[in-house]
Chains A and B, each alone.
Chain A
């Protein structure tokens, strides 16, 4: 094994210049279209996170594990619409379901017969009895916060430092706080992620580090009787794939319940991706509330909130309304039904595990061969290379990692036919049911070029 090397940031800067120069000539249509779109679409994109350096890439179409941008560059898609398309693009079963439903009408704001079938499947996967539907992960976590507050009559919510739970006001705090703003680890500062959120709301959110049961215990003790519940991603997904340590999730659940509070899993990213039953199955802990979105809609805007009988009782009684015009939209439901019952079957997860192993084995052997200071973490359809020799257990462990490393890794893949999600300090990927060992091999080969170049 080669000796672990520190990253030479000068080398990385030089390589970034080279790779950006390679990228640009092949993205002329995107660059030109951006200038046109700018006139009416704020910033040229429909969501701020669709634009990342060096410039937004406009997509034309997708099929299975492949996408084409408007310059007609073809890629193997490991981005998969921020992890939503584990079914792959234009899956024939989903195409059929959507085409059929489109002709039958796609929206009535009345209940239809898809609901029960999907509810039953989600119950089977996640072991929670009752479900409602919405249109995004944001709407799902919004409902989770409200369910916890409404059922306890308490105000405070505990969240993990460095996680994103949608863009509504109640949890837009300490998502990617700057090191200078974070405050002490024992009492992290609740840092607003966005302008335009009243400070009063920040005072109701307690931030704790991931994978630290004692810190959570301390937070409950310091705010005794005031905490409605805790929400977390059971596997933390915004700094690579960070897995929960043994006993952490069960410990949190016990802690919440001892304190008369609820535990909510935000499984928007992990649900139906890590395993058939998401993190619930992968880590064997059933929370009180689960938020789903992304992968369960087969590529249509979707969201779902699962919870216990007890938590849903006020909704059943009509004490309060969980409502939305498009909730349970028949088109989304038709796509969801095909996704959950016909595509993401238990066998599909055997496929994810097989490719996940090929990815981890291949990337790990590159890391060992080149001495890159990094390691690999993955589970099911989700995986990442983490640019640290020490294990990243929580957000603060990842703060010091220079963003240029993962940006360069992204450029290498982008220039060599692999589409990946941008932004994070780590390199995360999502697999679809169509991904093959050959796709993994391409990813690994590109990674080897990158690793060789930065360690040269």
Chain B
């Protein structure tokens, strides 16, 4: 945006509205609220993952169909959450339902190879240009494999990652995911901040963080410690602070730097794979890494993960020197769903629909301009975000200046008006699906406008 004429948001008003919206939400969620108490007896916090609960309370979902979900109170929503960006094909897609129904009758698990893995791998190879693939059960397992392969292949320990990115909950990368300002250290030399207690000691020392979109700082790190670095892992589009796009030349610069120092370059495309484009970020930005981790949208709603790479990067796995293993890896149910997902559902023309939806959503730009909001909007394929900042977020530290009360209210506002979105804190991000209608997109824009009106009145 860059306009100097933005209005000052009255945070007192925001807090007042937040109270009203929270009360309205509670009133709609009587069953979720009482069920949480029941669930708490056997589930810590009443949920099965800490990120399934968010203030004011967890929302228990009953079912989904196409672009819609219904909670256990019977409230209907257009789903922009999509299970943290998994369901870009929509809920209960008839082709996926059929694939699952067909496979389940033939058995879903043998811990032996089945014939669906190959067509899935073939699709992945076509979309990314990377020839060799293995499977796992989550994004966590995929990035774990990426780190293991980089370390095993180079015989080095150090991993470079970007400050403020999440790469799964295994130890190696649970560092500086959301570092607080008072612990993060200087921008040029960020501290390794543990994201959780209980990390394996030594983890912090084996990771070096660099700011996103700063090639020079990454080069300096490699210049100083290049011979210790096994590789760098990065979300090519940083997705935990809204949708943060890589600057021109950043990704190829990193790749070149890695290779100059005998290190490997890995993409975490768990969130961007199959969502930002048919060929994920590799297609969108034209830079091919040595390794790429996928999960989320790959399995069409079934736990999944995949790790792919160049022939050289996967050589240790192919030869058997590096065991890449797991009882459920390549689970036939997951593979059957993934196969149909990639060959019949998330096909190239489907991505045009995402662009059409984005065209409607970009009417939010007009709202931002008309109400002179300190905000900016970005979209890429199924992913989009509104940054509550006059300049787009360029790296993690840009978040610190954003007051999270505004996006929290924006989230409540949408929830109360039939739009289900992933909770954020300082940003507002979403995932669309190929089955969304124009009306589904209109609803988002209308809610955003009434929100803009309310906070500026």
Binding site for B on A (CB under 8 A): 33, 36-37, 39-51, 56-63, 67, 70, 79, 81-82, 84-85, 89-90, 94-95, 98-99, 102-113, 115-116, 119-120, 122-123, 129-139, 142, 145-151, 153, 155, 167-170, 193-201, 203-204, 293-294, 298-302, 312, 314-316, 318-329, 331-332, 421
The reply to whether B149 and A82 form a contact with Cβ atoms under 8 Å apart is no
Q: Provide the bound-state CA to CA distance between A60 and B151, in Å.
A: 36
In the complex, what residues of A have CB within 8 A of residue B424's CB?
Answer: none
Partner of A312, one of B44, B52, B148, B323: B44
**Which of these, B39, B96, B97, B333, contacts A300 with CB under 8 Å?**
B333
Using CB atoms and an 8 Å cutoff, list the residues of chain B in contact with chain A.
35, 38-39, 41-53, 58-65, 69, 72, 81, 83-84, 86-87, 91-92, 96-97, 100-101, 104-115, 117-118, 121-122, 124-125, 131-141, 144, 147-153, 155, 157, 169-172, 196-202, 205-206, 230, 295-296, 300-304, 314, 316-318, 320-335, 422
A300 touches B303 (CB 8 A): yes
In whole Å, how far is B227's beta carbon from the nearest beta carbon of chain A?
A: 15
> In the complex, what residues of B have CB within 8 A of residue A194's CB?
148, 152, 322-323
Q: How far is the CB of A338 from chain B (nearest CB, A)?
A: 11
B324 touches A42 (CB 8 A): yes
**Beta-carbon contact of B64 and A41 below 8 Å:** no
Q: Which residue of A has the minimal Cβ distance to B270?
A: A325
Q: Are A84 and B303 in contact (CB under 8 A)?
A: no
Q: Are A119 and B97 in contact (CB under 8 A)?
A: no
Q: Is the CB of B302 within 8 A of A107?
A: yes
B100 and A99 form a contact (CB under 8 A): yes
Contact of A111 among B41, B52, B131, B304 (CB under 8 A): B52
Do A323 and B51 have beta carbons less than 8 Å apart? Answer: yes
B199 touches A149 (CB 8 A): yes
- Compute how far the CA of A43 lies from the CA of B125 in the bound complex, rounded to whole angstroms: 15
Contact A325 B325 (CB under 8 A): no
Residues of B within 8 A of A316 (CB): 44-45
Instruction: List residues of chain B with CB within 8 A of the CB of A142.
Output: 169-171
Could you tell me if B205 and A321 are in contact, using CB atoms closer than 8 angstroms?
no
Are A329 and B330 in contact (CB-based, < 8 A)?
Answer: no
Interface centre among B97, B107, B134, B152 (most CB of A within 10 A): B107
A-B contact pairs, 9 of them (CB 8 A): A104-B62, A104-B65, A105-B69, A113-B72, A149-B198, A153-B197, A168-B171, A196-B151, A300-B331
CB contacts (< 8 Å) of A42 on chain B: these are: 132-134, 314, 317-318, 324
Out of A56, A167, A196, which one reaches B325, CB within 8 Å? A167
Contact of B327 among A99, A122, A137, A320 (CB under 8 A): A137
B110 contacts A116, C-beta separation under 8 Å: no
Considering the complex, give the chain B residue whose CB is closest to the CB of A100: B101
Least distance between A43 CB and chain B CB atoms (Å):
5
Specify which chain A residues have a CB less than 8 angstroms from the CB of B302 in the assembled complex: 106-107, 300-301, 329, 331
Closest beta carbon of chain B to A107's beta carbon, Å: 4
Chain B residues with Cβ below 8 Å from A89 are: 106-108, 110
Contact in complex: B115, A99 (CB < 8 Å): no
CB neighbours (8 Å) of A328 from chain B are 47-49, 52
Q: Which one, B44, B202, B304, B324, contacts A130 given CB within 8 A?
A: B44
- 17 additional contacts, CB 8 Å, given A47-B324, A111-B60, A322-B50? A40-B125, A45-B330, A47-B325, A95-B104, A104-B65, A107-B83, A108-B81, A116-B39, A135-B141, A139-B138, A198-B202, A315-B45, A318-B45, A320-B198, A323-B50, A325-B138, A332-B303
CA separation between A322 and B48, bound complex, in Å? Answer: 8
- Contact yes or no, B38 A299, CB < 8 A: no
A110 and B52 contact, Cβ closer than 8 Å, known pairs A62-B110, A90-B106, A103-B92: yes
Q: How far is the CB of B346 from chain A (nearest CB, A)?
A: 15
| Contact between chains at B326 and A105 (CB < 8 Å) | no
User: Across the interface, do B44 and A132 meet the contact criterion of CB distance under 8 Å?
Assistant: yes
Given contacts A45-B113, A46-B113, contact A109 B49 (CB under 8 A): yes
Establish whether residues B325 and A301, one from each chain, have CB atoms under 8 Å apart when the complex forms: no
